[in-house]
Amino acid sequence: LEGVNRELRQKAQEFVDSVRQVDPAMFEGKTVRKQILRQLAEDDEDHALKSSLLNGMDDKLNLKAPLEEILAPHLATAKDIYIALGRIQQLEPRGVGARSTKECLLLQLDREDDEYELKHLLIDKYLEDISQNKLPKISKDTQRDMEDIKEVVGQIKAMNPRPGSSYTSESVPYVRPDVIVDELEGSYEVKMEDGYIPRLRVSTYYRDLLAKVETKPEEKEFIRNKIESAKRLISSIEQRQATLYRIANELVKVQKEFLDQGVNHLHPLRMQEIADALHLHVSTVSRAISDKYIQTPRGIFPMKFFFSGATESTEGESQSRVSVQSRIRELVEGEDHANPLSDGDIVDKLKAEGLDIARRTVTKYRKALKIASSRQRKQF
């Protein structure tokens, strides 16, 4: 038995190696493709056709290339390609090789499931109604109890329409703060997190070369120019860090209420205001904070987070767009799920709190927060 297993592993590796030679890009950061190829290696037929099908899939393992394009280089019939595709669609993760969201979900169904027929029907005929939360319509059409529909729809929503997404080996980017804000007895201290920036200095070796008599004049001139360039680079880096430190200090002063009390107290702020306060050009501020992060007692944020537009309250005061969005999220999270708040209801509640904003603005903010409409949020 061990000999058989060893032979199977060897055959699988040979198949994977052969595909790697033909298409090395298939293996770049996509370990799930390796797993699929190893599963396919257990078959003796149509390796080339199956690898072409796999290569026609996107990163989420959906088959995007037309079957005719895949079929073209092979001496295969349409029947051959459908048989090969069917074999791929039986592999793990379930749903691989689907040509649509509907097909992907159907491939994940278990025929032994007591509700297989209902799930198949809902996926095949009612996906749009499910996305629109039209559960009463589905219940009426299928003549099934609402509780059954709710349970099955919940299970369908828990399925993965992108089966390759959970297998991708893309690394999660690590955010390293450039500035750290510490709380000290009710006040805040700003310090630069510049330990990862290399300490630059002009090498003494080249300074010594300048002092040597045997160094040729043209060589000395070349070295002097390079030393001056190095000094300018070092000065530029130091100046950039100093500017970032000044901006961070000013942000802490302006946004102290946010640091004390949270996002609902974030002040509206334009880069021009910081630029004016520090006697800088606004483009200097923009460049300085680009791709920079600040670590605060409230969490780590991109520095651009602290610059947001304003919404006028009924008292004439301004509130930041971020704080208004945060309040909208809180209202939705606290709503009656059987009777969710419409955008008009949210407008009325904000107005009662002193925020007079247009319904279209609420709709815009809600969509930016990826919050569904009240009809889609309604629970039956």
CA-nearest of 125, 128, 122, 127 to 144 is 122
Residue 256 has pLDDT above 90, yes or no: yes
Q: How far apart are CA 105 and CA 162, in angstroms?
A: 9
User: What integer is the mean pLDDT of 152-181?
Assistant: 80
Would you state the pLDDT for residue 35? 73
**Structure tokens given for 150:** 């709710």
Structural domain spans, the chain? 2-88, 101-157, 179-306, 310-377
Q: In what order do the strands lie in the sheet with 179-184?
A: 187-192, 179-184, 293-296, 299-302
Would you state the pLDDT for residue 28? 44
Would you state the pLDDT for residue 97? 82
Instruction: List CB contacts of 94: < 8 A, sequence separation 6 or more.
Output: 107, 108, 163
User: What integer is the mean pLDDT of 264-271?
Assistant: 89
Q: Which CATH code for domain 310-377?
A: 1.10.10.60
pLDDT tens profile 352-362: 988 888 899 99
Query: On the CB side of 177, how many CA atoms lie within 13 Å of its CA?
Result: 18
User: What integer is the mean pLDDT of 272-294?
Assistant: 95
Q: Whole-prediction pTM value?
A: 0.56
The answer for 316, left when phi > 0, alpha when psi is -120 to 50, beta otherwise, is left
User: What integer is the mean pLDDT of 117-133?
Assistant: 94
Average pLDDT, the chain: 83
Would you state the pLDDT for residue 16? 47
- Rounded alpha-carbon distances, angstroms, from residue 131 to 101, 122, 134, 370: 13, 11, 8, 14
User: What integer is the mean pLDDT of 300-326?
Assistant: 77
Would you state the pLDDT for residue 23? 47
Instruction: Read off φ and ψ for residue 309, nearest 5 degrees.
Output: -70, 170
User: What integer is the mean pLDDT of 281-297?
Assistant: 94
Q: Map tokens 């904003």 to a residue.
A: 357
pLDDT tens profile 230-242: 899 989 889 999 9
CA-nearest of 320, 353, 349, 323 to 334 is 349
Q: Map tokens 């393992």 to a residue.
A: 61
Would you state the pLDDT for residue 152? 94
Residue 98 burial (10 A CB sphere; 0-12, 13-18, 19+): buried
E-strand spans in the chain? 179-184, 187-192, 293-296, 299-302, 310-312, 318-320
pLDDT class of 165 with cuts at 50, 70, 90: low
Q: How far apart are CA 175 and CA 185, in angstroms?
A: 27
Is the pLDDT higher at 200 or at 51? 200
pLDDT class of 88 with cuts at 50, 70, 90: confident
Instruction: List CB contacts of 306: < 8 A, sequence separation 6 or more.
Output: 251, 254, 255, 258, 266, 269, 294
The rounded percent of the chain whose pLDDT value lies above 90 is: 45
pLDDT tens profile 296-310: 999 999 999 999 876
pLDDT class of 2 with cuts at 50, 70, 90: low
Is the peptide bond prior to 217 cis by the omega test (within 30 degrees of 0)?
A: no
Q: Map tokens 């590796």 to a residue.
A: 13
Q: How far apart are CA 338 and CA 181, in angstroms?
A: 43
pLDDT tens profile 22-79: 444 444 445 666 777 777 666 656 667 777 777 777 777 777 777 777 767 776 677 8
Would you state the pLDDT for residue 190? 95
Helix (H, G, I), strand (E, B) or coil at 175: coil
User: What integer is the mean pLDDT of 249-277?
Assistant: 92
Most confident among 80-84, 135-139, 304-308 (mean pLDDT): 135-139
Q: Which of 6-15, 38-47, 68-77, 321-330 has the lowest mean pLDDT?
A: 6-15
Would you state the pLDDT for residue 141? 95
The answer for 262, left when phi > 0, alpha when psi is -120 to 50, beta otherwise, is left
Residue 336 has pLDDT above 80, yes or no: yes
How are beta strands 187-192 and 293-296 bridged, if at all?
A: unpaired
pLDDT class of 92 with cuts at 50, 70, 90: confident
Would you state the pLDDT for residue 159? 92
Residue 380 has pLDDT above 90, yes or no: no
Would you state the pLDDT for residue 317? 54
Would you state the pLDDT for residue 245? 96
